[in-house]
Amino acid sequence: MPTRKKFVAGNWKMNTTLAEAKALAAAVAKGVGADARVTVAVCPPFPWLTAAGEAVRGSAVALGAQDVAFEKKGAFTGEVSPAMLLDAGCTYAIVGHSERRHVLGESDAAINQKVHTALEEGLHVILCMGETLAERERGLQERVFQRQVFAACAGLTDEQFARLVIAYEPVWAIGTGKVATPEQAQEAHRFVRGKLRLLYGDKIADATPILYGGSVTADNAAGLLHQPDVDGALVGGASLKADSFLAIVKAAQG
Ligand code: PGA
């Protein structure tokens, strides 16, 4: 059995003041310290990246952005390039979060372009995918997984795959308190890994971490993280308090 290191990332979304972001990042850094058994990342809003990066410096906590531009530079008002994120201290960028797909209308093609641009420039990518409630109710989730993974990963090299993390986030579970059961998560993750195996081979299928996201809390994390194909968690609401986020990190360590 391949061993994949567990990964816990906090997606702060459009929350925190500068002072709160600094304090939260510092508290996470203090709690994690130099312990690198689990990969831990925090993803603050763009304007707080540098300050949060300073707060986690010297700890094992990595910095991530919540999104990234689809082009490398130029006249793209409001966009933030991969090079800027790297300069700000980021290792990771989240791409294709459901709020960007469904609220801001990002297409599979745009997400594929962002994945390519970010990886070409040297970032690691946390690629989000997952079905809506309507799609699950109609039994379409596996078709959606296949389409989203295939579209987002089209054209990646093996070296680029080595910097890709997938996050399965059922839209009906995000911010709703309705977490997927460990069995539902495992079933989805196993399907996605199976597709990776079919499309890209054993090495990529076995090495790619697949995180679960959607109402993960300190109370439900352990059950999800013990599933064989669940390699970690992408945490929204529960990442805004250091105690609950660190409890999820602890569940991943245990
Ligand atoms: P949630 O968000 O943990 O608040 O459900 C998860 C996410 O959107 O990444």
Say how far apart CA 35 and CA 38 lie, in whole Å.
Answer: 8
Assess whether pLDDT exceeds 80 at residue 2. no
pLDDT at residue 57, rounded to an integer: 97
CATH 3.20.20.70 for domain 7-253: yes
Active site includes 169?
yes
* Domain ranges, ordered by start, for the chain: 7-253
pLDDT at residue 3, rounded to an integer: 80
Q: What's the CA-to-centroid distance between 201 and ligand 1, angstroms?
A: 30
213 lines ligand 1 (CB under 6 A): yes
Q: What's the CA-to-centroid distance between 74 and ligand 1, angstroms?
A: 32
Active site includes 131?
no
Q: What is the pLDDT of residues 157-168, one digit of tens each?
A: 999 999 999 999
pLDDT at residue 1, rounded to an integer: 54
Mean pLDDT of the chain: 97
What is the model's pTM?
0.98
Q: What is the pLDDT of residues 76-132, one digit of tens each?
A: 999 999 999 999 999 999 999 999 999 999 999 999 999 999 999 999 999 999 999
Q: What is the pLDDT of residues 204-221, one digit of tens each?
A: 999 999 999 999 999 999
